[in-house]
């Protein structure tokens, strides 16, 4: 009598193949990620229904063994989580051209190393670990941006973490940062090469490593070439937030217009440079004929501005990819030394910078 072979359960690989997408895309759809387009989401869910796809048995077994609290080493779920605050994931949802690139890098690295990906936003002030951590559904986390300090410590005590765009020296956490100092030096060298000698910088007063590196690079540039900052008052810190943004920017531009001599160039982050661009134009100043302007981040707004904003673009895909690779290395070796990776970028020359008239 012939024995019927046991039917092999449907895997995420089967769903991906039939839907014509990657396994990571299937994982993103099943976890309600904002990344996949609606058409892709619908196609994947239709295939899931057709194939009657159920979670990988190994995934369920790993979770059951973790719940059981046995002495043997639990199997990995082959799943990593991505946590970010509500604001960042909201930005990715509207395709800001910045955070969506981070997610793309995480997705590609997860797929390369055969990991599933789960995504969770963290509300401001939240202190409880997300369900995917509490239920042992992930082997580690990639964390983007600011999370409440207590929550980050709780998470780091429970499982491997790699953090993007932040540094934490108090916890055993690998990190990936944009090379802000190199970016500022590149901005200034570019403007100096165009003949600009009166350069100002809009900088915030927040207590972040970004601001510290930005300021350090700015002042170091002028120190290295033994040249003075023509108007240091226009480089002072500004206390600014979402509610005060318009008021603070308007006051700063008024100082620019009234300055004597007026700066010939300004540098800042894209979010502030785009505001500066429109406000300077409202005051009758032409960009770049009267004043040059360069940002940092290459957000979607910088590409939509008129004229298009010259900027410095970090490889956010590399940041996401590098953080995911650091995390997977940490999952496989919890005792390895802490690593920090700096990600470079490149200057994007568009239409808001020009040479100073009469400069060589």
Binning pLDDT at 50, 70 and 90, where does residue 89 land?
A: low
What pLDDT shows up at residue 3? 46
Write down the pLDDT at residue 114: 92
Question: Domain 180-314 class?
Answer: alpha beta
Q: How far is CA 274 from CA 192, 238, 346, in A?
A: 21, 17, 19
Of residues 99 and 265, more confidently modeled:
265
pLDDT, residue 95, reads: 54
- Please provide the DSSP assignment of 47-99 as one string: HHHHHT----HHHHHHHHHHHHT-SSPPPP-SEEEEEEEHHHHHHHHTT-SSH
Residue 345 has pLDDT above 80, yes or no: yes
The most confident of the ranges 35-39, 87-91, 119-123, 183-187 is: 183-187
Q: Could you give the 3-state DSSP secondary structure of residue 333?
A: coil
Residue closest to 309 by CA, chosen among 290, 287, 289 = 287
CA distances from 236 to 20, 49, 320 (A): 53, 58, 32
> What's the token pair of residue 185?
């030096």
Average pLDDT of span 38-45:
88
- What is the structure's pLDDT at 271? 93
Question: Would you state the pLDDT for residue 55?
Answer: 56
Region of poorest pLDDT, from 12-26, 29-43, 169-183, 284-298: 29-43
Confidence band, pLDDT 50/70/90 cuts, at residue 233: very high
Most confident of 80-89, 100-109, 330-339: 330-339
Domain definitions of the chain by residue range? 23-65+74-178+317-343, 180-314
Which residue did the predictor score with more confidence, 159 or 90? Answer: 159
Give the model's pLDDT for residue 126: 77
Per mean pLDDT, which range of 68-72, 252-256, 271-275, 286-290 is the poorest? 68-72
Q: Is the pLDDT of residue 92 over 80?
A: no
Query: CA nearest 214: which of 244, 253, 160, 177?
Result: 177
- Domain 23-65+74-178+317-343 matches domain 180-314 at the CATH topology level: yes
pTM passes above 0.85: no
pLDDT tens sequence across 107-159:
999 999 999 999 888 877 777 888 888 778 899 999 987 787 788 888 999 89
pLDDT (mean) for 260-286 = 97
* Lowest-pLDDT range of 142-156, 178-192, 235-249, 272-286: 142-156
Q: Considering the domain 23-65+74-178+317-343, what is its CATH architecture?
A: 3-Layer(aba) Sandwich (3.40)
Residues 203-232 pLDDT 10s = 999 988 999 999 999 999 999 999 999 999
Predicted pLDDT of residue 217: 98
Tokens, residue 115: 């990991």
């Amino acid at each position: 009598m012939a024995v019927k072979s046991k039917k092999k359960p449907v895997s995420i690989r089967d769903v991906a193949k039939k839907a014509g997408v990657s396994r990571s895309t299937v994982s993103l759809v099943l976890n309600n990620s904002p990344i996949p387009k609606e058409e892709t989401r619908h196609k994947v869910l239709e295939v899931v229904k057709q194939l009657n796809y159920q979670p990988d048995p190994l995934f369920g077994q790993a979770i059951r063994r973790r719940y059981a609290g046995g002495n043997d080493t639990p199997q990995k779920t082959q799943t990593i989580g991505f946590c970010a605050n509500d604001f960042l994931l909201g930005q990715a949802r509207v395709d800001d051209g910045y955070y969506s690139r981070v997610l793309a890098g995480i997705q590609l690295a997860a797929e390369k190393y055969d990991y599933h990906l789960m995504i969770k936003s963290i509300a401001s002030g939240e202190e409880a670990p997300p369900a995917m951590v509490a239920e042992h559904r992930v082997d580690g986390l990639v964390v983007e941006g600011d999370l409440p300090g207590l929550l980050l410590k709780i998470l780091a005590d429970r499982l491997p973490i790699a953090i993007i765009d932040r540094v934490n020296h108090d916890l055993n956490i690998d990190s990936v940062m944009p090379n802000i100092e190199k970016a500022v030096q590149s901005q200034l060298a570019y403007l100096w090469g165009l003949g600009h000698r009166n350069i100002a910088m809009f900088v915030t007063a927040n207590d972040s490593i970004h601001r510290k590196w930005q300021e350090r690079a700015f002042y170091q540039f002028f120190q290295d070439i033994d040249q003075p900052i023509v108007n240091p008052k226009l480089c002072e810190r500004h206390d600014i937030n979402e509610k005060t943004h318009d008021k603070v920017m308007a006051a700063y531009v008024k100082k620019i217009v009234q300055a004597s001599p007026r700066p010939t160039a300004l540098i800042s982050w894209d979010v502030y440079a785009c505001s500066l661009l429109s406000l300077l134009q409202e005051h009758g100043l032409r960009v770049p004929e009267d004043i040059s302007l360069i940002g940092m981040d290459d957000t979607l707004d910088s590409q939509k501005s008129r004229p298009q904003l010259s900027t410095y673009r970090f490889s956010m895909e590399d940041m996401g990819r590098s953080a995911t690779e650091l995390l997977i290395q940490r999952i496989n070796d919890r005792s390895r030394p802490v690593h920090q990776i700096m990600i470079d970028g490149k200057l994007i020359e568009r239409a808001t910078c020009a040479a100073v008239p009469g400069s060589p």
